[in-house]
Amino acid sequence: MAVTASHPLLLLLLLSLRLLAVANGASKPLAYQTLVVTPLASPEPLLSEDADGDDENLASAVESETTLPSSSSLHVHLSHRDSVLADTTAAEQIFRLRLDRDAARVETLSQTLAVATAPPAANVTGRRGFSSKVVSGLAQGSGEYFARIGIGTPARYVYMVLDTGSDVVWLQCAPCRRCYSQSDPIFDPRNSRSYAAVPCGAPLCRRLDVAGCDTRRRSCLYQVSYGDGSITTGEFSTETLTFRRSTRVSRIALGCGHDNEGLFVAAAGLLGLGRGSLSFPSQAGRRFGRMFSYCLVDRTSAGAPNRSSSVVFGGSAVPRSSARVAYTPMVRNPKVDTFYYVELMGVSVGGARVTGVLASDLRLDPTTGRGGVIVDSGTSVTRLARPAYQALRDAFKAGVSGLKLAPGGFSLFDTCYDLSGRTEVKVPTVVLHLAGGAAVSLPAENYLIPVDTKGTFCFAFAGTDSGVSIIGNIQQQGFRVVFDAEKSRVGFMPRGC
């Protein structure tokens, strides 16, 4: 029946229904994407001894987007630390351990920020916050990614943890008063022609937050402590580091640890990638332009492609064309100089902005140094301020259709689904909106992840009451994440591995 002026009540009813539909967003259906259901699997074994050799696939994938000649860059393969357990531990147990480490990591970062933002009377160091005070993802052995790096001359290759949440570079050294077990022989500086102790009065020594002096040798001493009680102490020195393709970087200040206690695992030490002056990117900035990027590959999925995680320093770290990269300005915390802060403006689910995710709940307070959002390589699961997380979770659950909720959750995850017997499912899209107009559209496998071998998948976000929010490495997987200190920006390039 045609609607005419002789049916005013019917016309009014239809108009009212249309207005109601627009108000409820029904005129714009939610956007979905496909998740291929791949149960949890064990990670790949650790990198082989020759992992420092050439990799033409990595070179072509990254260098095709470069702005500077490859001679100004270096490329390093990464292995996830779960690879240490790949041959001896079940996949589900490995993942539970990863989440336990993750909780410890977040607690450590929270303690770090509490120390750094405390009133001056409580902050006894008084300088740059915490470069040697509760800084690293190595708390509970939680450094997540290892690289094969040559130390000294001639180079002795060892596994080092790469961590954007730390500044000081250090490794275990002989003679060792107390050392934990590592997968390679302990580095002996007496066998290196390029090793040199830093004098007590040198400017490098004064950059340390906790420093001492060996009066007999007149050499600088360092100490780095962590939230779980782990500690490394020894001689502060300079040494040559060798990376892939025999790229050598000389006179890098690092701690040569003769007394190392705690829950460190497998790696010989740590290569700090933070923003502080003693981090590797800062020290090598004259050669590599204070820029690096990494791409992290999910190695725990049975269907993972044959790709490697990698980190690139220098010109090759920054893609030639910005069209593929979503850039957002770095935000500086005046109380803490190590972390990479960004401003998260909001989140979309299914193409619609989540009204409960407020920028005000996620913003850094420049006066107190509290709050804000950091991009971190050592944290696995993205944490959001609790009100923002709850709004995001509820929007995702409301958008999911036809999926069976799994009872009880899993570890820190409170929203899980039973996808057993399914090969693929449709899930609402999730997009992070960052300052400067950057929109980071997450692949489905970056936010609905397998947690066991039975088909249980969980929404891979969590809430936090610690003040600081964190974009974790699960959400970063598959992106080339660019840290460009020269232009004070962080970029996300999809399919960048």
pLDDT in tens, 431-485: 999 999 999 999 999 999 999 989 999 999 999 998 899 999 999 999 999 999 9
Instruction: Give 28: exposed, middle or buried? Use CB within 10 Å, 0-12, 13-18, 19+.
Output: exposed
pLDDT in tens, 27-52: 578 999 999 998 887 666 655 444 43
pTM, 2 dp: 0.82
Question: Which pLDDT score, from 0 to 100, does residue 303 have?
Answer: 42
Which residue stretches of 79-238 are H helix?
91-116, 203-207
Residue 13 has pLDDT above 90, yes or no: no
Q: Determine phi and psi for 253, rounding to 5 degrees.
A: -70, 125
Whole-number Å distance between alpha carbons of 152 and 174: 13
The sheet with strand 438-442 has its strands ordered as 352-353, 344-349, 430-434, 438-442
Label residues 7-16 b or e (16+ Cβ within 10 Å = b).
eeeeeeeeee
Structure tokens at 267: 């790696």
Whole-number Å distance between alpha carbons of 278 and 72: 21
Whole-number Å distance between alpha carbons of 215 and 404: 67
Where residue 444 falls (left for φ over 0; alpha for ψ -120 to 50; beta otherwise) is alpha
To the query of whether residue 376 is one of the catalytic residues in this protein, the response is yes
To the query of whether residue 418 is one of the catalytic residues in this protein, the response is no
- Portion of the chain with pLDDT greater than 90, in percent: 52
Residue 122 has pLDDT above 70, yes or no: no
Question: Which pLDDT score, from 0 to 100, does residue 125 have?
Answer: 32
Average pLDDT, integer, range 324-339: 93
- Catalytic site residue from 163, 167, 228, 452: 163
Whole-number Å distance between alpha carbons of 361 and 388: 7
Whole-number Å distance between alpha carbons of 282 and 286: 8
Instruction: Give 65: exposed, middle or buried? Use CB within 10 Å, 0-12, 13-18, 19+.
Output: middle
The region of weakest confidence among 120-134, 358-372, 380-394 is 120-134
Question: Which pLDDT score, from 0 to 100, does residue 82 have?
Answer: 65
Average pLDDT, integer, range 409-415: 91
Q: Determine phi and psi for 51, rounding to 5 degrees.
A: -65, -10
DSSP H/E element including 312: strand 309-314
* 109 contacts 165 by C-beta, under 8 angstroms: yes
Whole-number Å distance between alpha carbons of 347 and 344: 8
- Catalytic site residue from 167, 209, 298, 376: 376
Residue 491 has pLDDT above 60, yes or no: yes
pLDDT in tens, 53-95: 433 333 333 333 333 334 477 888 887 766 666 555 677 777 7
Structure tokens at 44: 């790949």
Q: Quickly count: other Cβ atoms within 10 Å of residue 188's Cβ.
A: 15
